[in-house]
């Protein structure tokens, strides 16, 4: 059996790859973190983390334990396991697999017998077999499942979650054959508490899409009901709280300004892409996307309604967003509904500012949005929009604020607050 210098190479050091590299190092594996972004590698080598859930101290500790960061693709030949965790964005509403393809080419150019290649990037069913495998085999001349092992394992990172982390969240694994599955399962068992094998890579790729499509659909359901309840003068928050007392057959989802992050807004579109390829669009899922995508504009219509009711003109009014991140207690604004809300308000010539303790700067379509200092000037606005229910906002005494307040999250109770 060949001896490798590193137990693992992680290709792509974003919010998925960096935690994997850190956890594997903590499990006493010899790890190399690989990325084509030289500035990112430079910062990591001086223990500067760009991932919220990973502190600078954790990076420093891992480096001291042997974690090596590099842009040198030739080092990939010296790694037993190679995990691809690069971005898979949508470009013009089409899956952009260029990062996966480039990472696969980097591996293929250095691929050795007995190596184990694992794709973790979120994608549509069939990517491992139809995209990654042909690249690896055609460039290297080696055969997948025989000369080297190949499989897929979906990432399950939940930024900001203090209960479920990389190590204690069950890990789905698959391979293109039984030997690959066994090898990949053995690897993840060395760093993760529970590993669950599925029969093939298509099944594993579909697992990730199902998990986030499930959330997309249920959020869309409660968002649509929130709009209906407003029309019927029903308190949707009381309805949801009462329904969740049922100990079976119901899981609570709460309405809000839309969905954000890289998973829920994006993953179902990968499913739509694949099903349209085979001539069978997932109409239910696409309707859910449509509903959630419309929520920022519903929020702006409610703002307009509240302002009109109080004889305040939207044009030249001042509105403050409390929170612009896509979820509580993190600073990630990717696909955040706040971006669409702000953009829509700007078209109505509203003066928009924000306060978010986790987001230092914000640019929307070329417009730098002013960041307010703490809670000092809340009285200076015509309306305060609560977009993200950060824990720090619990310190605000909303009862003492005379400004109009519109809470899209249902997280704060005050006689002064109007809810979605």
Per-residue model confidence as pLDDT tens digits over 193-221: 999 999 999 999 999 999 999 999 999 99
Handedness of CA 279, 282, 283, 287 (dihedral sign): negative
pLDDT at 97: 95
Q: What is the pLDDT of residues 135-173, one digit of tens each?
A: 999 999 999 999 999 999 999 988 778 898 888 999 999
CA 16-12-118 angle, to 5 degrees, is 80
pLDDT category of residue 59 using cuts at 50, 70 and 90? very high
Please give the distance of CA 203 from its chain centroid, rounded to a whole number: 21
Model pLDDT, residue 158: 82
CA distances (Å), origin 169, targets 17, 164, 192: 15, 6, 8
CATH assignment of 237-419, among 3.40.50.150, 3.40.50.720, 3.10.129.10, 3.40.50.300: 3.40.50.720
Looking at the annotation, which residues are catalytic?
A: 263
Q: Which CATH superfamily is domain 6-199 in?
A: NAD(P)-binding Rossmann-like Domain (3.40.50.720)
Q: In the structure, what pLDDT confidence band is assigned to residue 269 with cuts at 50, 70 and 90? A: confident
Model confidence over 280-320: pLDDT tens digits?
878 888 899 999 999 999 999 999 999 999 999 999 899 99
- For residue 240, pLDDT over 80 is answered with yes
Q: Look at residue 373 and tell me whether its pLDDT is greater than 80.
A: yes
Instruction: Give the whole-angstrom CA distance, residue 366 versus residue 74.
Output: 39
Strand positions, DSSP E, 116-248: 116-119, 149-152, 171-175, 195-197
What percentage of residues in the chain have a pLDDT greater than 90?
80
φ, ψ of residue 70 to 5 degrees: the values are -155, 155
- Can you give the pLDDT at residue 306? 95
Instruction: Report the pLDDT value the prediction gives residue 413, as an integer from 0 to 100.
Output: 84
256, 219 contact by CB (below 8 A):
yes
What is the rounded CA–CA span in Å between residue 131 and residue 332? Answer: 30
Residue ranges, comma separated, of all CATH 3.40.50.720 domains in the chain are 6-199, 237-419
pLDDT at 160: 79
Q: How confident is the model at residue 276 (pLDDT cuts 50, 70, 90)?
A: confident
Residue 268: the pLDDT is 80
pLDDT per residue over 39-58, tens digit each? 999 999 999 999 888 999 99
| Residue 76 DSSP class | G
Nearest to 99 by CA among 126, 121, 74, 70: 121
What is the Cα–Cα distance from 371 to 84, expressed in whole angstroms? 37
Q: How far is CA 320 from CA 247, 350, 371, in A?
A: 39, 10, 9
Mean predicted lDDT score pLDDT of the chain = 93
Name the pLDDT band for 92 (thresholds 50, 70, 90): confident
Give pTM, 2 decimals: 0.89
Look at residue 376 in the predicted model and tell me its pLDDT.
74
Please tell me whether residue 174 adopts helix, strand or coil conformation.
strand
How are beta strands 116-119 and 149-152 bridged, if at all? parallel
Provide the pLDDT confidence category of residue 182 given band limits of 50, 70 and 90: very high
Residues 6+ apart with CB under 8 A from 83: 8, 9, 10, 11, 17, 20, 118, 119, 120, 153
The stretch 410-420 carries a mean pLDDT of 86
Q: Does 264 have pLDDT greater than 80?
A: no
Q: Bigger pLDDT: 282 or 393?
A: 393
Number of neighbours of residue 242 by Cβ within 10 angstroms: 10
DSSP-based helix, strand, coil % in the chain, nearest 5: 40, 15, 45
Q: Edge-to-edge, what's the strand order for the sheet holding 417-419?
A: 370-371, 351-355, 318-322, 383-386, 404-407, 417-419
pLDDT of residue 262 exceeding 80, the answer is no
State the pLDDT at residue 415: 81
**How many other CB atoms are found less than 10 A from the CB of residue 287?**
13
Name the band, by pLDDT with cuts 50, 70 and 90, for residue 406: very high
Sort 295 into a burial class: Cβ within 10 Å, 0-12 / 13-18 / 19+: buried
Top pLDDT among 93 and 198 is at 198
The angle formed by the CA atoms of residues 397, 399 and 401, to the nearest 5 degrees, is: 80
The model's confidence at residue 261, banded by pLDDT at 50, 70 and 90, is: confident
């Amino acid at each position: 059996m060949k001896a490798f210098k590193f137990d693992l190479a992680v290709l792509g050091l974003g919010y998925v790859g960096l935690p994997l590299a850190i956890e594997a190092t903590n499990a006493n594996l010899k790890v190399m973190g690989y990325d084509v972004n030289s500035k990112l590698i430079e910062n990591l080598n001086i223990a500067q983390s760009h991932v919220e859930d990973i502190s600078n101290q954790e990076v420093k500790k891992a480096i001291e334990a042997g974690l090596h960061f590099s842009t040198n693709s030739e080092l990939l030949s010296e790694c037993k396991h190679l995990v691809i965790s690069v971005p898979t964005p949508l470009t013009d509403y089409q899956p952009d697999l260029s990062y996966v393809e480039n990472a696969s080419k980097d591996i293929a150019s250095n691929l050795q017998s007995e190596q184990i290649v694992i794709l973790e990037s979120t994608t549509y069913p069939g990517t491992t077999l139809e995209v990654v495998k042909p690249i690896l085999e055609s460039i290297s001349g080696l055969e997948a499942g025989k000369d080297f092992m190949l499989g897929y394992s979906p990432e399950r990172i939940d930024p900001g979650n203090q209960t479920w982390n990389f190590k204690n969240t069950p890990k789905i694994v698959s391979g293109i054959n039984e030997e690959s599955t066994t090898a990949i399962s053995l690897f993840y068992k060395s760093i993760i508490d529970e590993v669950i094998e599925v029969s093939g890579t298509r099944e594993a790729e579909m697992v990730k899409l199902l998990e986030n499509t499930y959330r997309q659909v249920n959020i869309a359901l409660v968002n649509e009901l929130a709009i209906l309840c407003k029309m019927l003068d029903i308190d949707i928050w009381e309805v949801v709280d009462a329904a969740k007392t049922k100990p079976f057959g119901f899981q609570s989802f709460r309405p809000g300004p839309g969905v954000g992050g890289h998973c829920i807004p994006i993953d179902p579109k990968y499913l739509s892409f694949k099903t349209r390829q085979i001539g069978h669009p997932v109409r239910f899922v696409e309707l859910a996307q449509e509903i959630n995508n419309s929520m920022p504009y519903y929020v702006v219509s409610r703002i307009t309604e509240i302002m009109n009711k109080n004889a305040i003109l939207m044009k030249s009014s001042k509105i403050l967003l409390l929170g612009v991140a896509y979820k509580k207690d993190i600073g990630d604004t990717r696909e955040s509904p706040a971006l669409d809300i702000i953009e829509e308000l700007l078209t109505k010539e509203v003066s928009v500012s924000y306060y978010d303790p986790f987001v230092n700067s914000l640019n929307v379509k070329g417009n730098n949005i002013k960041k307010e200092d703490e809670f000092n000037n809340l009285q200076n606005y015509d309306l305060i929009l609560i977009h993200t229910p950060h824990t720090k906002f619990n310190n605000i005494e909303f009862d003492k604020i005379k400004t109009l307040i519109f809470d899209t999250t249902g997280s704060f109770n005050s006689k002064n607050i109007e809810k979605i």
